[in-house]
A and B are shown apart, each in its own frame.
Chain A
Amino acid sequence: MAHAQKIVGRRAGDRVILGAVIFLAFLWVVPVLWVLILSFKANSELMLSTGSAFRLPYTLKNYADILASSGVFRWFFNSVVVASLNTLATLILASLAGYGFARTEFPFKNVIFVLVLLGLAIPEQAVIIARHQMFTDWKMHNTYLALILPGLSNAFGVFLMTQYFRSIPMDIDEAAMLDNASRFKIFWRVLLPLTIPAQATLGIFTFLACWNDYLWPLISATKPEMFTLTVGIASTQTNFAQSEGLGFLMAQAVFAGLPVFIVYLFFQRYIIQAVAGAAIR
């Protein structure tokens, strides 16, 4: 009897949680759908009332206008290059650093690790003038390198990978040592594949941050051919975009967000694994 009551109680609890989850999902998805719907509406209609969003006709003109804009493919390409190379380089560096902190001994290791962690506490805005000056001195503005390099000092990435390497039992390394594997082979063939969930998480976060980054590309890339998508799209907006070009604005948001959405779809399995902490055990 008590057992049955417990089951009923648990079911009720599950329903409450499920209801809360549905409610939160609804709160999240409504603005996304709103943006998507408005992007298919003509600007002139939306100027009169956004209430027309749920009425025919719908149009692809806003998307056509984006594609017709001369620089959009170039900006898209720039964003892909910058975000991809930044992500790739961050994964390589953070993995190597994480392995170093987790598995090797060297002088002042703990002090250096604390210094890396302190990097998490320093906002980008605090160093942006100095950084700008540095890249000016190096004559590197308006280059891919200038857009990529600052993102590589990723304290969060180093921290995440260090913790993940630490969570892998030392027995695995030792078994590989007894299997005649070199240090590089242990890193490359044995440990690195085990960190894929963490790599995926870090990869997505880095790609997203880089794709959405606005401040540094806005400062560093002054020539239109070096704009990233965020900066480029913003540059096409008129002063009255919020009132006169709402549909176009929404289409730009969808266009900029689509690649990120696709990347997330591809990697979401690893994110869930990493968050669940069940990756290698």
Chain B
Amino acid sequence: MSSIEIDRVSKRFGPVEVISELSLRIESGEFIAFLGASGCGKTTLLRMIAGLETINSGEIRIGGERVDHLPPGARGVAMVFQHYALYPHMTIYDNMAFGLRNIGAARPLIDQRVQQAAKILEIEPLLARKPGQLSGGQRQRVAIGRALVKDPKAFLFDEPLSNLDAALRVRTRVELARLHQQTRATTIFVTHDQVEAMTLAGRIVVMNNRKIEQIGTPMEIYGRPASEFVARFVGSPAMNFLPVSVAGQGGRALLALASGAQLQTNIALEDLPSGEPMRLGIRAEAIRLDSEGSLPGKVEVVERLGDRTHLHVRLADDSTLIAEDVGHSRAAPGDSVNLRIDPDQAHLFDAQGRGYRAAAEARS
């Protein structure tokens, strides 16, 4: 397995620059996810690594070797496509063997690799069938198997689970995680589904508007979003945002909410831009019902999820936020409640969407 380096890569489609001076290093054996909404450039980036799109400037290296001038087949990567892209007229065995035959691999080696991959993916009984005779989940396994037999330097997955139904998606996700643990293969996984990215990847690259917003482990991305976009995009339900005015107290930001409530945070005042309107970002699990809480409101909607309950609460200033309560919450629509915000989990975002948070040591 090999590392992948993307060094100041740019890509234009006609006059439109879709990737600009992007740099990224993916370590050997790493499972990394490119996460972002449609059109953010994540699939284009993956296709440039695969060689299916040319680059206009910069360098791409796989295993230390520059590959951006090589055709896709010579880069030593294998890709699993969103719509599987199996060859409909070939048997599953031939689909998996096609790539090896093209590089002139010996027949016993081809057979051994195909059988081995089929065993790992539990598709041995399907080898004589054609793709049209398989279910969506089986086709996805074959697509993965086709990548596996090539023993590539890196696996590239382009939204491979998006065509599966919800239950199968969860199962395949677990299988992919298990497969990566077995093979320790360098893997890039493109998805717009934050749950897939969070559960599978060792690191996530969050992309927005053709730029990298943040790179980090799932918990870094979730717990310390670098921007309002990341904070909104990752996490379900989405983070709550409330306009606040910032005052100083002991060098830490004291936030005044529009409803009149105040929140003392550990965010260093000196880190914040002065004179800019700021927004408080707070996740639902950091807002609890508390009769002593300083934020009064009225429950509008109760969403019961079994292990927890989400309460949509309208505040005195007419803004709404989502708070989390226990599974057997006694709150009902129309109830007047008091909320308490955990100041250690408060995020501040400036007018440009840049995120600020208390340093870890400041909270301890």
Contact = CB atoms under 8 A, between A and B. Distances in A.
Nearest to A278: B132
Given A181-B98, A280-B88, A174 B72 contact: yes
Interface in B140-164: 146, 150
Interface in A246-281: 280
Nearest to B97: A179
B200 interface: no
A174 B85 contact: yes
Given A178-B99, A181-B98, A181-B102, A172 B73 contact: no
Contacts of B83: 169, 171
Nearest to B152: A178
Interface in A158-176: 169, 171-172, 174-176
A194 interface: yes
B52 interface: yes
B73 A175 contact: no
A175 B51 CA distance: 11
Contacts of B71: 177
Contacts of A175: 79, 81, 85-87, 146
Nearest to A190: B87
B81 A193 contact: no
Dominant SS among interface residues on chain A: helix
Most-contacted residue by chain B among A172, A174, A178, A280 (CB, 10 A): A178
Interface in B85-103: 85-89, 98-99, 102-103
B52 A176 contact: no
Interface residues of B, number: 25
A177 B73 contact: yes
Nearest to B87: A190
A230 B187 CA distance: 65
Contacts of A178: 50-52, 72-73, 77-79, 99
Contacts of B50: 174, 178
Contacts of A280: 88
Contacts of B88: 194, 280
A179 B96 CA distance: 10
Contacts of B99: 178-180
Interface string B337-362: 00000000000000000000000000
Contacts of A180: 73-74, 99, 102-103
15 contacts: A171-B81, A171-B82, A172-B85, A174-B79, A174-B81, A178-B51, A178-B72, A179-B146, A180-B73, A180-B103, A181-B73, A185-B102, A193-B89, A194-B88, A280-B88
